[in-house]
Amino acid sequence: MPISGPVVHQQLMDAYTQTQARLESVRLQIGKANQQRDQWDKNRGESLVKLAEFYLPELTPEAIRSTWVEIQPAMSQVFRRKQQECDRLQSELSSLTVKRQTEDAKLLEINRQLDDLLDVQTQIGSEVEARLQQDSQFVSLADRAAVAEAALERAEANLAEIEQDAARKLPAYENSKLFTYLRDRGYGTQAYGHRGFTRRMDRWVAKMVDFNTSKQGYDFLRKTPEQMRTIIAGDRSALDTVMGELQRRRDTVADELGLPEKLSQFTELQKYRDSHITILENLQQQTDKTQSHLTAADDSRGTYYREAIELFRGMLQQIDSRDLKRRASSTVDLTDDQIVAQLMNVEAKAGSFSEAAQQHEDEVRRIQSFLEDLGRLIQQFRSAGFDSARSQFVGSLDIPMHLNRAIDAGSADTLWNEVRSAQRWGPTAMEQITAVATHPMTQILINAMAHAAGGALQEHARRAGRRHSSRDRYRGGSLDSSWGGSSSSSGNRRSPW
Task: Summarize pLDDT for 393-443 with one digit per residue, the tens.
Answer: 888 888 888 878 877 776 778 888 888 888 887 654 333 333 334 577 888
Count the neighbouring beta carbons within 10 Å of the beta carbon of residue 57: 7
pLDDT at residue 249 is higher than 70: yes
Looking at per-residue pLDDT, the higher value among 306 and 92 belongs to 92
Contact of 4 with 392, CB cutoff 8 Å: yes
* Per-residue model confidence as pLDDT tens digits over 250-277: 999 899 999 999 899 998 999 999 999 8
pLDDT at residue 105 is higher than 80: yes
% helix, strand, coil for the chain, step of 5: 80, 0, 20
Q: CA torsion 39→42→47→50, rounded to 10°?
A: -140
* Per-residue model confidence as pLDDT tens digits over 297-334: 877 556 776 665 555 444 544 555 666 556 456 554 55
pLDDT of residue 124: 92
Number of H helices, E strands in the chain: 14, 3
Q: How far apart are CA 44 and CA 53, in angstroms?
A: 14
Select from 237, 147, 238 the least CA-distant residue to 452.
147
pLDDT of residue 88: 92
Domains along the chain with CATH numbers: 26-132+260-363 (1.10.287), 146-238 (no CATH)
Q: How confident is the model at residue 127 (pLDDT cuts 50, 70, 90)?
A: very high
Contact of 370 with 410, CB cutoff 8 Å: yes
Report percent pLDDT > 70 for the chain: 68
The residue ranges of DSSP E strands in 91-200, in sequence order, are none
- 3-state SS of 292-341 is HHHHHHHCCCCHHHHHHHHHHHHHHCCCCHHHHHHHHHCCCCCHHHHHHH
pLDDT at residue 35 is higher than 60: no
Q: How confident is the model at residue 490 (pLDDT cuts 50, 70, 90)?
A: very low
Mean pLDDT of the chain: 74
Q: How far apart are CA 421 and CA 490, in angstroms?
A: 9
CA angle, corner 469, sides to 464 and 473, nearest 5?
135
Q: Is the pTM of this model over 0.85?
A: no
Contact of 183 with 218, CB cutoff 8 Å: yes
Q: How far apart are CA 252 and CA 473, in angstroms?
A: 14
Q: Please compute the mean of the pLDDT values over residues 136-160 and round it to a whole number.
A: 88
Q: How far apart are CA 332 and CA 394, in angstroms?
A: 80
Q: How far is CA 485 from each of CA 36, 47, 320, 385, 439, rounded to the nearest angstrom?
A: 57, 72, 72, 8, 10
Q: How confident is the model at residue 8 (pLDDT cuts 50, 70, 90)?
A: confident
Select from 33, 45, 31, 43 the least CA-distant residue to 79.
31
Report percent pLDDT > 90 for the chain: 12
User: By mean pLDDT, which of 37-51, 360-374, 451-465 is the weakest?
Assistant: 37-51
User: By mean pLDDT, which of 70-79, 123-132, 345-354 is the weakest?
Assistant: 345-354
pLDDT of residue 448: 78
Q: How far apart are CA 107 and CA 270, in angstroms?
A: 11
pLDDT of residue 206: 82
pLDDT of residue 279: 92
pLDDT at residue 377 is higher than 60: yes
User: By mean pLDDT, which of 98-107, 211-220, 327-336 is the weakest?
Assistant: 327-336
Long-range CB contacts (within 8 A, 24+) of 311-317: 311/71, 311/74, 311/75, 311/78, 312/75, 314/71, 315/68, 315/71, 315/75, 316/48
Q: How far apart are CA 116 and CA 110, in angstroms?
A: 10
